[in-house]
């Protein structure tokens, strides 16, 4: 008898394979920056790097680890601004990019919820910028009888309801994504993201772990879920074939952070508010005025609209 080929899997399995399997989306040479812009790339990276250095200074932290750092775009900006005494480390699922600044250390990671040994750094500011939204999680949907079932998916993105959600996932859903739930409503079970964040915290000897992501809290979960695909700068249907990014917003409160604040609040605390430079400067120092204006407009882009609403989850270690 021919063996049966199982093409339909849970979203968690299919998602992991599509992003981190052999030939997975994030193993492509162009990296995430080839498909979408984040606050950790381009001109924004320069400002974010400055804010992180200010945070490290205030907390007396001397190592900065960028987890899920793409191809090291933010680390390049950090390398330009940071005092040579600051140690810089990056990790992502590919080998060290050839043109990365010499001073940046690199650790290759398996991907998804699994992290490499980061050497238990002491006095470290550990940033995970847009990591947890690409950590695959189970997706569940309420059936016509009101039962929460795991959603299975085939390679074309076609979905089918599978068995009722298992105990641990159901427990998470009841605790963090509460009813009422109508037939067709979805739950993106954040248990895998919680475990990934906890694993990151465990891998640090002392310092501050900061996860920054698109997120929600118990009061504003998206009833229909938030799983989408991204490719070439545009949203697309979530198809787990390795041809697009797959991302779902993160339940940031279930990470149990010490502090949870918006990016707007976090960056304002660190001195970035997007305020325009005084007009007097235009007369006394036109070039300085233009540079300050460009900086203010970049800061405003980071602290308003959708980036301003990103959530920063902070956990102190040691
Ligand atoms: C949305 S991109 C964000 C990249 C970068 N942090 C930024 O904000 O521009 C997600 C990145 O997470 C990386 N990633 C996913 N799981 C990882 C893991 N366990 N360890 C290291 N990197 C991981 C992916 O390879 C990808 O580069």
Residue 90 Cβ inside 6 Å of ligand 1? The answer reads: no
CA-closest candidate to residue 69, choices 98, 20, 109, 29? 109
| 93 C-alpha to ligand 1 centroid (Å) | 8
- 294 within a domain of the structure (yes/no): no
Residue 105 and residue 111 in contact, taking contact as beta carbons nearer than 8 Å:
no
- 288 within a domain of the structure (yes/no): no
Other Cβ atoms within 10 Å of 266 Cβ, number:
23
Mean pLDDT value across residues 150-164 = 97
Among protein residues, the one with the nearest Cα to ligand 1's atom 19 is: 111
pLDDT: which is higher, 37 or 209: 209
Other Cβ atoms within 10 Å of 199 Cβ, number:
12
- 150 within a domain of the structure (yes/no): no
> Residue 252, class by beta-carbon neighbours within 10 Å (0-12 exposed, 13-18 middle, 19+ buried)?
buried
Per-residue pLDDT of 91-133, as tens digits, reads: 999 999 999 999 999 999 999 999 999 999 999 999 999 999 9
- 180 within a domain of the structure (yes/no): no
In the chain, the largest separation of any two C-alpha atoms, in whole Å, equals 84
Among protein residues, the one with the nearest Cα to ligand 1's atom 7 is: 40
Return the percentage of the chain with pLDDT > 70, whole number: 98
CA-closest candidate to residue 111, choices 206, 32, 7, 204? 32
Residue 176 and residue 220 in contact, taking contact as beta carbons nearer than 8 Å:
no
User: Is pLDDT at 3 greater than 90 in this prediction?
Assistant: no
Q: Which atom of ligand 1 is nearest to the CA of 114?
A: 19
When divided into structural domains, the chain yields a total of 1
Per-residue pLDDT of 134-148, as tens digits, reads: 999 999 999 999 999
pLDDT mean across residues, the chain: 95
- 153 within a domain of the structure (yes/no): no
Q: Which atom of ligand 1 is nearest to the CA of 245?
A: 1
- Look at residue 273 in the predicted model and tell me its pLDDT: 80
Residue 18: pLDDT band (50, 70, 90) is very high
Residue 67: helix, strand or coil by DSSP? Answer: strand
Q: What is the spatial distance between Cα 240 and Cα 305, in angstroms, rounded to a whole number?
A: 29
Mean pLDDT value across residues 148-156 = 97
Mean pLDDT value across residues 264-283 = 91
- Give CB contacts under 8 A, 24+ apart, made by 222-227: 222/249, 223/181, 223/182, 223/185, 223/186, 224/184, 224/185, 224/186, 225/139, 225/186, 225/187, 225/188, 226/188, 227/11, 227/139, 227/188
**Token reading at 209:** 């772990």
- 170 within a domain of the structure (yes/no): no
Residue 68 Cβ inside 6 Å of ligand 1? The answer reads: yes
User: Is pLDDT at 40 greater than 50 in this prediction?
Assistant: yes
- 13 within a domain of the structure (yes/no): no
Q: What is the spatial distance between Cα 76 and Cα 73, in angstroms, rounded to a whole number?
A: 5
User: Is pLDDT at 1 greater than 90 in this prediction?
Assistant: no
Q: What is the spatial distance between Cα 24 and Cα 18, in angstroms, rounded to a whole number?
A: 5
Residue 6: pLDDT band (50, 70, 90) is low
CA-closest candidate to residue 101, choices 64, 126, 131, 135? 64
Domain CATH for 118? 3.40.50.12710
Q: Which residues contact 167 (CB under 8 A, 6 or more apart)?
A: none
- 168 within a domain of the structure (yes/no): no
Residue 91 Cβ inside 6 Å of ligand 1? The answer reads: yes
In which domain, by residue range, is 32 found? Answer: 18-137+189-269+304-317
| 67 C-alpha to ligand 1 centroid (Å) | 7
Mean pLDDT value across residues 285-294 = 91
> For 246, which DSSP code?
E
Per-residue pLDDT of 293-307, as tens digits, reads: 988 998 998 999 889
Residue 259 and residue 253 in contact, taking contact as beta carbons nearer than 8 Å:
no
């Amino acid at each position: 008898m021919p063996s049966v080929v199982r093409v339909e899997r849970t979203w968690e399995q299919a998602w992991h394979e599509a992003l981190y399997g052999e030939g997975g989306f994030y193993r492509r040479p162009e990296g995430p920056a080839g498909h979408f812009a984040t606050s950790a790339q381009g001109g924004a990276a320069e400002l974010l790097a400055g804010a992180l250095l200010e945070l490290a200074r205030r907390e007396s932290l001397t190592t900065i680890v960028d987890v899920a750092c793409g191809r090291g775009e933010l680390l390049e900006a950090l390398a330009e601004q940071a005092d040579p005494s600051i140690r810089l480390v990056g990790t992502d699922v590919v080998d060290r990019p050839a043109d990365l600044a010499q001073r940046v250390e690199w650790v290759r990671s398996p991907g998804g919820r699994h992290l490499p040994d980061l050497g238990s750094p002491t006095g470290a500011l550990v940033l995970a910028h847009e990591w947890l939204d690409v950590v695959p999680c189970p997706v569940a949907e309420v059936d016509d009888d009101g039962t929460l079932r795991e959603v299975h998916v085939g390679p074309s993105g076609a979905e089918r309801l599978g068995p009722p959600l298992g105990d641990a996932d159901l427990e998470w859903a009841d605790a963090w994504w509460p009813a009422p739930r109508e037939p067709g409503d979805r739950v993106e079970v954040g248990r895998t993201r919680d475990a990934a964040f906890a694993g990151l915290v465990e891998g640090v000897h002392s310092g501050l772990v900061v996860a920054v992501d698109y997120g929600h809290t118990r009061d504003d979960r998206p009833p229909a879920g938030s799983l989408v695909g991204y490719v070439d700068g545009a949203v697309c249907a979530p198809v787990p074939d390795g041809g697009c990014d797959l991302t779902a917003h993160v339940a940031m409160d279930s990470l149990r952070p010490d502090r949870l604040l918006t990016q707007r609040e976090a960056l304002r605390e660190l001195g970035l508010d997007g305020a325009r430079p005084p007009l007097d400067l235009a007369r006394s120092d036109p070039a300085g005025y233009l540079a300050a204006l460009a900086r203010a407009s970049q800061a405003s882009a980071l602290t308003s609209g959708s980036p301003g609403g990103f959530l920063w989850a902070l956990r102190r270690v040691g």
